[in-house]
Chains A and B, each alone.
Chain A
């Protein structure tokens, strides 16, 4: 089965998902969950930035980076388990509107009502 990255349509008909069903952490999905990231992954992000500030070598901050990635993926998984349709709708709306929040207020409100940040 061939994937079309332009239309974000998958063989099973769903969007913003990998073929195995897990949500794909690409731009619109990250923008959709940015409030949850800011709230729940604050510690990991702050330690990562501290490491980056101290070290210029990217290899020195791989461990904090792994923590950040794991935290973000867990947040996406949690949101997907709680409200998959709202997340998909919001991400699809943002995908079609250049990640402009002002154009997708309805979907944002739906997602935030479903799982408050």
Chain B
């Protein structure tokens, strides 16, 4: 018996389906099922678009001052060091000049004793030779 009329259960199913369709059309709810690439909380920082906001380093005047300061400061240090070295060399030279007579006199005394001993040896060795002059210089220069 194929009746063309809708049965009661089919009607109820149809009505509940329509209810869902109509409620989804009318009622708005937040969609918590989707994942999207969102900005961080608080948003992004401002983009630096201002023309003079970039740091370009020291100004020209500062660079000039730096170069001239290092140059003349270095020359000052150089001059002072040279002066100090000159004075130190002078001090050392004068000290050695002051001390030299003492050392030379000491050495002269030692050498005189040794020379006299060598003359005595020479006289002893050449005692037999009457023509030998002990201590005669072999050089023509009177200094030696």
Contacts and interface: CB of A to CB of B under 8 A. Distances in A.
Interface of A: 25, 30-31, 34-35, 37-38, 41, 44-45, 48-49, 52, 55-59, 61-62, 64-66, 68-69, 72, 101-102
Interface stretch (B15-23, B29-37, B53-61, B90-98): B90-98
Interface string B71-102: 00000000000000000100110110111011
20 contacts: A25-B102, A30-B99, A30-B102, A31-B99, A35-B98, A37-B102, A38-B98, A44-B101, A45-B98, A52-B104, A57-B143, A58-B108, A58-B112, A59-B112, A59-B116, A65-B109, A66-B105, A68-B105, A72-B102, A101-B88
> Interface majority SS on A: helix, strand, loop or mixed?
helix
Contact of A69 (B91, B106, B112, B115): B106
Contact of B115 (A38, A48, A55, A59): A59
A90 to B, nearest CB: 13
A68 B99 CA distance: 10
Contacts, number: 66
A16 to B, nearest CB: 15
Interface residues of B, number: 23
Given A57-B144, A58-B111, 12 more contacts: A30-B99, A34-B95, A38-B97, A55-B143, A56-B142, A58-B112, A68-B101, A69-B102, A72-B102, A101-B91, A101-B92, A101-B95
A111 B105 CA distance: 27
Interface of B: 88, 91-92, 94-95, 97-99, 101-102, 104-109, 111-112, 115-116, 142-144
A108 B104 CA distance: 26
Contacts of B104: 48, 52, 65
A34 B101 contact: no
Contacts of B102: 25, 30, 37, 68-69, 72
A62 B144 CA distance: 16
Contacts of B91: 101
A103 B143 CA distance: 42
Contacts of A58: 107-108, 111-112, 115
Contacts of A64: 105
